[in-house]
Amino acid sequence: MGTLRRLAGLPAGRVGKWAVIAVWLAVIVPLGVLAAGIGQAQDNDETSWMPSGAPSTRAVELTRREFPAARDSALVLVYARQGGLGAADRAAVLDDRNRLRALGDVTGPAPSADGAALTLTVPVPGDAMESGEATRIVARAREIMRAGLPAGLTAAATGPAASRADAADANGRVDGTLTLVTVAVVALLLLVTYRSPVLPLVPLACVAAGVVAAQAGAVLVAEAGVVVNGSGAALMIVLVFGLGTDYTLLLISRYREELAEHSDRHQAMALALRHTAPSVAASAATMALAALALFAADMNSTKGLGPLAAIAVVAALLAMTTLLPALLTALGRGVFWPAVPRRAAPGARTAHIWRWTGRLVSGRPRRAWAVAGLTLAALACGTAFLRVGVLDGGDNFTRVPESAAGQEVVRAHYPGGATAPVLVYVPARAAATAAGLARTAPGLAASGPAETSASGRWTRITAVLADPPSSDPARRSVEGLRARLARAVPDALVGGQTAALLDRDAAMDRDLAVIVPLVTGVVTLVLGVLLRAAVAPLLLLGCALLSSGAALGLSALLFHALGFARTDQTVLTLGFLFLVALGVDYTIFLMARARQEVRERGHRDGIVTALVATGGVITGAGVVLAATFLVLTITPVVLNIQLGLLVALGVLVDAFVVRTVLVPALALDIGPATWWPARPAPAPRPFGQPSGIGSPPW
């Protein structure tokens, strides 16, 4: 324990601070070189978003192994005119076909039965789909399609290749913007908080170092086989900024309190670290261990987020408990200019708000927690408006992409599944049986010829759905086909877009059912170890669950008002993780301070003192963290927007209601039994108000 304390106090030492800064300067360059490979480390292949071991995923893997030439994805160009195509329209399509041959072997034009549409199909190689070259191919095809288009002729690029390109374009446009906006939001809030033009630059530099360290860690785990995709990399940046800023506010707030009591800044920082580092470390441990519970997920994209989130938490913790205190100590009191804290400085100008809150909660604690609890329960009723389901196609974007609009054109003139066929894989010996079942299966408009693999072991049969691939009738058709094949050909695999949607839906339902109780158990155990109590962890967990329900209900009402068609199960899974783990953070900060105060003042005065002392900083941290997650709403991806709104609302509910009223009121009403079986041994003294210096001026 003594060694750990000495290490924790190293950044505050007269020599130690320079040693810490030197170590960071020595490692930041190699870490930066490693982090520069984060783009190449990302695996945005379709299987990285699919459930591991699912039939559709195994179908993709079998295609790569047995049908390498069939890895191509279709880029479908559809041309349509209301009332029927004319000679000029057909001539324009033929001209496009000739120019598109520079991109690949073009098939078509394929006419619709009503004579109002034609399609051209360009195969996009599998290697191009995995390398990102597909985006350039799709963009060039669209240029050719639009050049010389006759007036009144509608044209759109759709199909799997266009859908992937549109998704990549939507995510790619915001990668740099997301980071810049996050930096701007955090910088502005820190500037408002401390009213200093210099101080915000220090934590921002430390957060930047944390981001570099986190990205370097992501590259290393990617090399070890962990799936790292674009969404995970973006979420990691948000976590480092959000948590890093939270830890910053807690440390600087306590540092300013100690500067008001001690003239030696090294002693002040050592005391600040001694008081804040344990609760910050406990908070980080809770979040990291809860994130690692995502390893139990079936969805590859969800499973990969576990280690990425844990790495982000550890990077933020290391940067803010080593580099930040070392820099602050080295820069001295002048870093707070113009509001330089002096010894025996007066209390913060907003301290009276938290004194009033303390008196309000402690006056009638039972009424306080009852009102807060009923309010949260009422908000949770908003979950009745929640519509859960996989976000696919245009539903996952704020603006309908061209590929989704093109699918609607195809649907109007061709069988709904023309651009996304069902792919059936069976052992070659059962090809005839499977082909017969596919031809007579309900919901299939057509069945193509069988294709045998180069090894001769497998046969692939292509079938076209009568309904759009994302529709409920199409899903029922694929379920029926799978059931028929399972009885006659047990080794059969059914893949394709609709099959993948079915498997994703089932996997995400399963992940939600498994990860929610797993995260709950992990958080309960961590709280028990931290607080060395049995009652307090259950109290805090119950409050966190009620807060999560309220945030979900409030979010459901907001999603309904914004017109979102559905809420993806991934939003609920990740949202629960962040709401519970991050929400418990603030109660950890409160209760850790409460344990210190209870020993000196007794239970009642200790709880109220902790509430008043931490009120400003925790509320400020909640506002900053919520604003950081709200940055996700600038993306055009509905899943990111929903996750950002859900977590932001949950953090605000937790900071302003749960931490401020519900938890302290319950602790006061329950009394010293809150700490059972521990028995704090207080040395009571008259209730005294802490200085509160450094509390953000909200």
CATH number for the domain harbouring residue 469: 3.30.70.240
User: What are 539-566's pLDDT values in tens digits?
Assistant: 888 898 899 999 999 999 999 898 887 8
Mean predicted confidence (pLDDT) in 436-448 = 85
C-beta neighbour count of 468 within 10 angstroms: 21
Band of residue 1 on the pLDDT scale cut at 50, 70, 90:
very low
Check pLDDT > 90 for residue 396.
Answer: no
Assign residue 136 the CATH number of its domain.
3.30.70
Same domain, 194 and 271: yes
Domain boundary among 486, 502, 518: 502
- pLDDT value for 685: 43
Residue 180, domain extent: 1-36+174-345
Model confidence at 494, pLDDT cuts 50, 70, 90, reads very high
Residues 245, 329 within the same domain = yes
In a domain, 220, yes or no: yes
pLDDT at 345: 44
Long-range contacts of 402-405 (CB under 8 A, 24+ apart): 402/142, 402/156, 402/157, 402/158, 402/162, 402/166, 403/156, 403/157, 403/158, 403/159, 403/162, 403/163, 403/165, 403/166, 404/158, 404/163, 404/166, 405/156, 405/158
pLDDT band at 173 (very low <50, low <70, confident <90, very high): low
**What pLDDT band is residue 347 in, cutting at 50, 70 and 90?**
very low
Whether residue 133 is found in the same domain as residue 275: no
User: Is 431 domain-assigned?
Assistant: yes
Tell me, what's the pLDDT at 83? 87
Is the residue at 109 inside a domain?
yes
Per-position DSSP letters for 471-513, written without gaps between them: SHHHHHHHHHHHHHHHHH-TT-EEESHHHHHHHHHHHHHHHHH
pLDDT of residue 350: 43
3-state secondary structure 528-594: HHHHCCCHHHHHHHHHHHHHHHHHHHHHHHHHHHHCCCCECHHHHHHHHHHHHHHHHHHHHHHHHHH
Q: Is the pLDDT of residue 231 over 90?
A: no
Which CA distances in Å does 115 have to 57, 80, 155?
A: 37, 9, 15
Name the residue among 470, 466, 397, 410 with its Cα closest to residue 77: 410
Q: Is the pLDDT of residue 525 over 50?
A: yes
Instruction: List the one residue out of 212, 178, 190 whose CA is nearest residue 33.
Output: 212
pLDDT class for 261, splitting at 50, 70, 90?
confident
Backbone dihedral region of 348: left (phi > 0), alpha (psi from -120 to 50 degrees) or beta?
A: beta
User: Residue 172: which pLDDT band, with cuts at 50, 70 and 90?
Assistant: low
586 vs 289, higher pLDDT: 289
Average pLDDT over residues 338-353: 60
Which range is most confident: 173-177, 245-249, 492-496? 492-496
- Indicate whether 203 belongs to any domain: yes
CA distances from 311 to 130, 202, 219, 239, 621 (A): 26, 22, 11, 10, 21
The Cβ of residue 148 has, within 10 Å, a number of other Cβ atoms equal to 11
151 with 209, same domain? no
C-beta of residue 152 within 8 angstroms of C-beta of residue 162 = no
Residues 312 and 451 in one domain: no
Q: Residue 155's beta-bridge partner residues?
A: 79
For residues 28 and 115, state if they share a domain: no
Last residue of a domain, one of 292, 315, 345: 345
pLDDT band at 130 (very low <50, low <70, confident <90, very high): low
For residue 178, pLDDT beyond 90: no
- Amino acid 646: pLDDT: 94
* Together in a domain, 221 and 331: yes
Average pLDDT over residues 332-359: 71
**Each residue's pLDDT tens digit, 634-656:** 878 888 889 999 999 999 998 88
**Contact by Cβ (8 Å): 620, 256:** no
Highest mean pLDDT among 309-323, 458-472, 528-542, 574-588: 309-323
- Specify the pLDDT at position 529: 81
Please, which residues bridge with residue 423 across strands? 462, 495
Q: What is the pLDDT of residue 210?
A: 94
More confident residue, 580 or 324: 324
Average pLDDT, the chain: 84
| pLDDT at residue 552, rounded to an integer | 94
Q: Mean of the pLDDT values across residues 408-424?
A: 83
Tell me: pLDDT of 515 over 60: yes
pLDDT: which is higher, 232 or 207 = 207
Higher pLDDT, 69 or 532: 532
- State whether 201 and 167 are in the same domain: no
Tens-place pLDDT, residues 378-392: 999 999 988 887 777
Residue 356 lies in a domain: no
Among 378, 328, 368, 685, CA closest to 553: 378
Residue 584 lies in a domain: no
- Residue range 252-267: mean pLDDT, rounded: 87
Asked if pLDDT for residue 599 goes beyond 70, the answer is yes
- Are 308 and 230 members of one domain? yes
- Last residue of one domain, picked from the residues 502, 520, 536: 502
266-287: per-residue pLDDT in tens? Answer: 999 998 898 888 888 888 888 8
- Asked whether residue 182 carries a pLDDT value surpassing 70, the answer given is yes
What's the rounded Cα separation, in Å, for the pair 82 and 293? 53
202 and 313, same domain (yes or no): yes
pLDDT tens digit string along 73-91? 889 999 999 889 999 999 9
Question: What pLDDT sits at residue 5?
Answer: 56
Nearest to 474 by CA among 506, 443, 447: 443
Give the pLDDT score at 624: 84
Number of domains in the chain: 3
Nearest one of 674, 672, 670, 663 to 369, comparing CA atoms: 663
Where residue 493 falls among pLDDT bands split at 50, 70, 90?
A: very high
- The confidence band for 196, taking pLDDT boundaries of 50, 70 and 90, is confident
